[in-house]
Structure 1
C-alpha cells in the first residue's frame, strides 16, 4: 500500500456497507485488485481508517464503489462505520 493515489477521506462501499479507508491506502492499486476479482473471485485486502485489516471476497456479483471526496471535504458520516457494526458474512476479517 502506497500513498500514490490516496485520500484521507476515501471510502469503499461494498454492496450495502461503507468503510472509511486508511489514508495510506493506494486507491489505484485497490481498484486494480477489485477489477481482477471480477474475472476470477478472490479475496481483496485493504485497511480501514481505524487500522483494521479487511479481507473481502470479491466477485462480479458484488457492487463496489470507491469514493474520494475533493480535498478538504469531510468524509460522509455514514462512511465511518465501525467494523463490528457490519453484518456477519459481509466481510471476512
Structure 2
C-alpha cells in the first residue's frame, strides 16, 4: 500500500467517515500490521475509552462431533469422520 493511500485511509478513519468496500479491501491486504493495529487501536479507544473486555470460554465439549457447521469453528467434525473424538466411558 502506498503512502498516499495510507494517509487517505487514516484521514477517513480519524474523521469517523464510513469506509468503502475498496477501503476495506485495501486495509485487509495491507502487510503493515503495526500501522493497521495502531489505527484500529485509535478507533477502539475513541469508541470505548481505555476499557478492554474479554471472555474465557470454559465449557468442556464431550465430543467434537457436531452437525451445526458454524463457519468460524475449526473444532467440529462431521459424524463418520475418522478424526472425531468422544469423552466418556467405553462400552465393552
Alignment TM-score, normalising by the size of structure 2: 0.24
- Higher relative contact order, structure no. (Cα contacts within 8 Å, ≥ 6 residues apart): 1
Q: Where is the helix percentage greater, Structure 1 or Structure 2? A: 2
Q: Where is the strand percentage greater, Structure 1 or Structure 2? A: 1
Alignment TM-score, normalising by the size of structure 1: 0.24
